[in-house]
């Protein structure tokens, strides 16, 4: 069993990575039904929360069926981080996560996200400010370091543990790499092997298949794995990895019926959370991934992204189910390159 403060997770938990514009309530609902053990909201600006910005406040939306769920904040100012931690605590998530990995310029220039990797003293102060401001477990998600010459994750891990964080997720890249090259998990393993480290260490970066999950579990000895891009449009990856870790066998790829059922579930939550117009609109960027691999799907996809009502979407989904019933999908190879990049 893995413990994050008073949160208890099964051995070797699978985590849905926080992803801006992706890990929202509708997508999380779908992942929750497909085997994920712990999820995070999209990152939320501490300044935005204090300003009561609508977009920031909406990202605070969490639901009991999602638990355990963490709310992720970012910022470079101690007081703002302390205040936003209290705002977050008021909506009662299971944990507060701090983003110290976002490589994006507009975040880094505010001294937030990955910027603090350049000054561990500041990182420690910001973390202390959050830990002091909430009774909830505080965790951190970060990267190996700012650049190739300053990979300081071993120091970071110990010092943040010493000020009270309850778990650490490490993306195996530096800020300078953004998403380039392969994620390097060797330093993540060194952090885990450090006898003074007692908190769970979760590895993150490029896990896109059950085989790779098993291989990285064996080679790097982390306490669990955090998955981002490979889950986009393919929430089945969590159960597929779990089944493979347990049996060494692959689950059959999801059938068209299963894919359409997940599309309907995602749409239902999208409309419920965002209202009809925005909810239907939001779904349009998800159909491609859910229907990937189907021959001659373009015409149907075009209709899905143009119709305006749930009833019309339903009609197209019924047709797709009928036309592709019994279609044998190949086992998926996630196209990580094609995924949009963002903060973390």
Instruction: Just list the catalytic residues.
Output: 102
- For the chain, give me the number of helices (H) and strands (E)? 15, 10
Q: Which of 274, 247, 249, 250 is nearest to 55 (CA)?
A: 274
Q: Which of 48, 47, 49, 42 is nearest to 27 (CA)?
A: 42
Part of the chain binding ligand FMN (CB under 6 A), chosen from 185-193, 195-203, 259-267, 336-344:
336-344
Q: Which of 34, 37, 43, 200 binds ligand FMN (CB under 6 A)?
A: 43
Q: Residues 162-201: x/- map of binding to ligand FMN (CB under 6 A)? A: ---------x------------------------------
- Provide the minimum distance between the beta carbon of 257 and ligand FMN in the complex, in angstroms, as a whole number: 27
Part of the chain binding ligand FMN (CB under 6 A), chosen from 224-232, 233-241, 283-291, 314-322:
224-232
94-115 b/e (C-beta count within 10 Å ≥ 16 → b): bbbbbbbbbbbeebbeeebbbb
- 75 near ligand FMN (CB under 6 A): no
- 131 near ligand FMN (CB under 6 A): no
Cα distance between residue 193 and residue 201, in whole Å: 10
Task: Classify the phi-psi angles of 158: left when phi > 0, otherwise alpha if psi is within -120 to 50, otherwise beta.
Answer: alpha
- Provide the minimum distance between the beta carbon of 227 and ligand FMN in the complex, in angstroms, as a whole number: 5
Task: Classify the phi-psi angles of 209: left when phi > 0, otherwise alpha if psi is within -120 to 50, otherwise beta.
Answer: beta
Q: 22-25: long-range contacts (C-beta < 8 A, 24 or more apart)?
A: 22/232, 24/59, 24/273, 25/61, 25/62, 25/63, 25/66, 25/269, 25/273
Cα distance between residue 145 and residue 76, in whole Å: 17
Q: Could you tell me how many residues of this chain bind ligand FMN (CB under 6 A)?
A: 26
- Number of residue whose CB is nearest ligand FMN: 344
Between residue 82 and residue 121, which ones bind ligand FMN under the rule CB under 6 A?
A: 99, 101
Burial of 90 (0-12, 13-18, 19+ CB in 10 A): exposed
Comparing CB distances to ligand FMN, the nearer of 18 and 316 is 18
Q: Which of 25, 26, 48, 205 binds ligand FMN (CB under 6 A)?
A: 205
User: Cα 237 from chain centroid?
Assistant: 13
Comparing CB distances to ligand FMN, the nearer of 133 and 209 is 209
- Provide the minimum distance between the beta carbon of 206 and ligand FMN in the complex, in angstroms, as a whole number: 5
Q: Which of 26, 200, 228, 254 binds ligand FMN (CB under 6 A)?
A: 228
Part of the chain binding ligand FMN (CB under 6 A), chosen from 47-55, 202-210, 233-241, 308-316:
202-210
- 262 near ligand FMN (CB under 6 A): no
- 344 near ligand FMN (CB under 6 A): yes
* Residues in touch with ligand FMN (CB under 6 A): 17-20, 22, 42-43, 72, 99, 101, 141, 171, 204-207, 227-230, 339-344
């Amino acid at each position: 069993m893995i413990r994050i403060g008073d949160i208890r997770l099964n051995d070797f938990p699978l985590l849905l990575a926080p992803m801006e514009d992706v890990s929202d309530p509708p997508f999380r609902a779908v992942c929750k039904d497909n085997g994920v053990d712990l999820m995070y909201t999209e990152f939320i600006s501490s300044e935005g929360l204090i300003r009561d910005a609508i977009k920031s406040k909406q990202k605070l939306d969490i639901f009991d069926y999602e638990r355990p769920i963490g709310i992720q904040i970012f910022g470079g100012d101690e007081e703002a981080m302390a205040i936003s931690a209290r705002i977050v605590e008021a909506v009662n998530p299971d944990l507060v996560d701090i983003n110290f990995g976002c490589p994006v310029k507009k975040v880094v220039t505010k001294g937030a996200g990955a910027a603090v990797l350049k000054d561990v003293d500041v990182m420690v102060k910001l973390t202390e400010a959050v830990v002091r401001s909430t009774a909830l477990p505080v965790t951190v998600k970060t990267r190996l370091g700012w650049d190739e010459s300053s990979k300081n994750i071993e120091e970071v891990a110990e010092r943040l543990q010493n000020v009270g964080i309850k778990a650490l997720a490490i993306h195996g890249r530096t800020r300078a790499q953004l998403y380039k090259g392969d994620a390097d998990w060797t330093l993540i393993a060194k952090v885990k092997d450090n006898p003074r480290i007692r908190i769970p260490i979760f590895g993150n970066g490029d896990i896109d298949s059950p085989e790779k999950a098993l291989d990285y579990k064996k080679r790097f000895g982390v306490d669990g794995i955090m998955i981002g891009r490979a889950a986009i449009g393919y929430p089945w990856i969590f159960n597929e990895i779990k089944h493979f870790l347990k049996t060494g066998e692959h689950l059959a790829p999801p059938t068209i019926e299963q894919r359409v059922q997940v599309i309907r579930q995602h749409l239902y939550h999208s409309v419920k959370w965002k209202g009809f117009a925005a909810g239907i609109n939001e779904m349009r960027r998800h159909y491609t991934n859910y229907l990937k691999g189907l021959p001659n799907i373009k015409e149907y996809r075009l209709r899905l992204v143009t119709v305006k009502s749930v009833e019309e979407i339903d009609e197209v989904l019924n047709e797709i189910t009928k036309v592709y019933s019994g279609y044998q999908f190949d086992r998926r190879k996630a196209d990580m390159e094609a995924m949009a990049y963002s903060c973390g």
